Amino acid sequence: MPKYGLENIHNVVLLSHGGAGKTSLSEAMLFNAGVINRLGKVDDGSSTSDYDPDEAKRRISINLSLLPSNWRERKLNIIDVPGYADFVGEVKAGMRVSEGAIVAVCAASGVEVGTEMVWGYCEEAKLPRLVYINKMDRENADFFKVVEEIKTKLGAKCHPIQITIGAHTDFQGVVDLLTMKAYTGSPPKEAEIPEAVKAQADSYREKLIEAIAEIDDKLIEKYLGGDEITLEELTGTLRQAVISGSIVPIIAGSALQNIAVNRVLDAICDYLPLPKEQKIMTASGAADPSESAPLAALVFKTTADPYVGKLTYFRVYNGVFTSNSQVYNSSQSAVERIGQLYLMRGKTQEPAAEIRAGDIGAVAKLNVTATGDTLCTQDKQVKITPIVFPTPIFREAVYPKTKIDIDKMGSALSRLTEEDPTLKVHRELGTGETILSGMGDTHLSVAAEKMQRKFGVHVELAIPKVPYRETITAPSKAEYKHKKQSGGHGQYGHVLLALEPLPERGANEFAEKVVGGSVPRNYIPAVEKGVVEAYSEGCLAGYPVIGVKATLYDGSFHAVDSSEICFKIAGAGAFKKGLAEGRPILLEPIMNLKVTVPNDLTGDIIGDLNTKRARVMGMNPEGDTNVIDAQVPLAEIQRYSIDLKSMTQGRATFIMEFDHYEEVPANITQKLVSQKQAEKAEKS
């Protein structure tokens, strides 16, 4: 078996809007390369890459899948990633370890929202790519119409290097515009160009040659002088143009019928870059990859399996990764022992003695390594730039269904977040809820199903309670005397507190101005303890208190009956009394919201924000989109990810973060207080 490395590997990520047929394309590629002996189907869950039970059930890709195959003495690591926007973390990971991409577009639906989204990611990452117009066998398939749509929406640098012969039930194959040969049927046969498409082929070839010639000064001279440009010159220049991003070739076919899929494999080998042609981005700058350099590998995916344990996927950039060795994790500053290395294909693991620079592998049972970490040698440490994952935008509260689930829920959630960096878990102190955040409602419901299937934990998801707070608006003074007389020692603690609102409504403060020893020094910490404990429950609706300064200024004690516990009780009692007299109000979290929306939908989004008590702070045009900046109460946008998706068919995106607390309008305060009182009455 040949050794694969920087010179003969292609790492290619398949991108598209959900349902454009990436998984069917990857299946046909594996079949044509002789890796599998029958074509699996997405619809019956038999494809190589969609092996997860959730994927089979939902008929969509949820996880990134590695699909290596050999073609023309090259190793192609095809990375199939989800097309559904909720699983963008997998897309980002797959793109980060690829040198090239294939963007699949459906011949009937054309350029969709997800297509534009992944295109934007490719532009951002400067990732060389091909566009593959799939599903030419579909009803309403129209290659030429979709080509024009691609040029309009994705850019004039997209040029067909093939045109199709027929469509729908009459789809036969493609014409290669460089060799001017037709390839029809499955398996494909070389043939002469049919008369019906000859004129179109000539016209598109002319445009293609002009686009290629414009890349190179010598070629443009030849072209303008009417000299013949050789096939070698055309393909060589086109390859450089694809790598530099100045041309994106468009190819076509039908993955399901396996027509012209071989031409996709050829196009990868002919036009997409090899690992040696891409720089490695590290903390100390860009570097050229080398097999003789010390080891440098980036971890781009982690899966937690209850049976196998943790499986860590990595891409080797420098050196050679060997089984049964020791490596250094420079991100965690820790040594990791490496057992058996594997080459992954879907869910199957093939043992490997070594993984060379440019290749992708996996290893089980690492202790400290997480997604985004760099594995290297301890004496030549390096940090590869980690993957930047998007911030979660949708939150739900997680409740265990039974007592048994309570104990296991915490560890299951931490295993999930280790597996998926776009999931985050935190405990909301004000409401006592465990909050799971992700990229959308489907993302979180898949996570809940995964918890049940993988870790046996049954949970329910609900809209989180809003973490309201309480504060005071006027200074107040309060006195509290804790006095109890029972046989023997009595109890005595007497405290006078002055409360005042803090201007920034920040963290609570405690101070003391006791003179003359009316409260002995050794009891003051107990008073503070009582006050601090009383912060947890306000007097209006029982929400935590913020933005209050409490000053202990007087009190009294009893030489025999006073104790720390008495002053703690007195401190808490005085604080609660003072709150009630300080004109208390409810505060709600206000979020900074940034919505990126197409120009034609801007009015609708602003109109909708106005119904959500939002303050629009400004609007900045960016190309065909507007970025709306607004401040909105969290209570109004708990489901904003779902609302925005349905209002814009997924064409708008948003990010939000907490900014500050603000007073709740009186009518809403009233409603919340009576709601809390009703809840209390129900419990009692």
Determine if residue 168 is left, alpha or beta; phi over 0 gives left, psi from -120 to 50 gives alpha, anything else beta.
left
Whether 255 and 284 share a structural domain: no
Q: What is the pTM of this model?
A: 0.88
Q: Please report whether residue 672 resides in a domain.
A: no
Looking up tokens 């199709």 gives 164
Whether 177 and 265 share a structural domain: yes
Whether 177 and 302 share a structural domain: no
The confidence score (pLDDT) of residue 679 equals: 84
> Residue 644: which CATH number?
3.30.70.240
Residue ending a domain, choose from 582, 611, 645: 582
Whether 124 and 254 share a structural domain: yes
Whether 403 and 349 share a structural domain: no
The confidence score (pLDDT) of residue 487 equals: 66
> Residue 423: which CATH number?
3.30.70.870
The confidence score (pLDDT) of residue 421 equals: 95
| CA 48 – CA 23 distance, rounded (Å) | 8
Residue ending a domain, choose from 426, 457, 488: 457
> Which residues of the chain, if any, have pLDDT below 70?
1, 43-44, 306-308, 487-488, 684
The confidence score (pLDDT) of residue 407 equals: 87
The confidence score (pLDDT) of residue 276 equals: 96
Query: Which own/partner pairs from 230-235 qualify as long-range (CB within 8 Å, at least 24 positions apart)?
Result: 231/178, 231/179, 234/178, 234/209, 235/178, 235/270
- Domain around 404: 394-457
Q: Please report whether residue 199 resides in a domain.
A: yes
Q: Please report whether residue 3 resides in a domain.
A: no
| CA 467 – CA 462 distance, rounded (Å) | 15
Whether 250 and 293 share a structural domain: no
Nearest alpha-carbon partner for 260 in 272, 268, 252: 252
Domain count, the chain: 5
Whether 69 and 192 share a structural domain: yes
> Residue 86: which CATH number?
3.40.50.300
Whether 606 and 574 share a structural domain: no
Q: Please report whether residue 321 resides in a domain.
A: yes
Whether 263 and 398 share a structural domain: no
Q: Please report whether residue 486 resides in a domain.
A: yes
Q: Please report whether residue 465 resides in a domain.
A: no
Q: Please report whether residue 13 resides in a domain.
A: yes
The confidence score (pLDDT) of residue 54 equals: 80
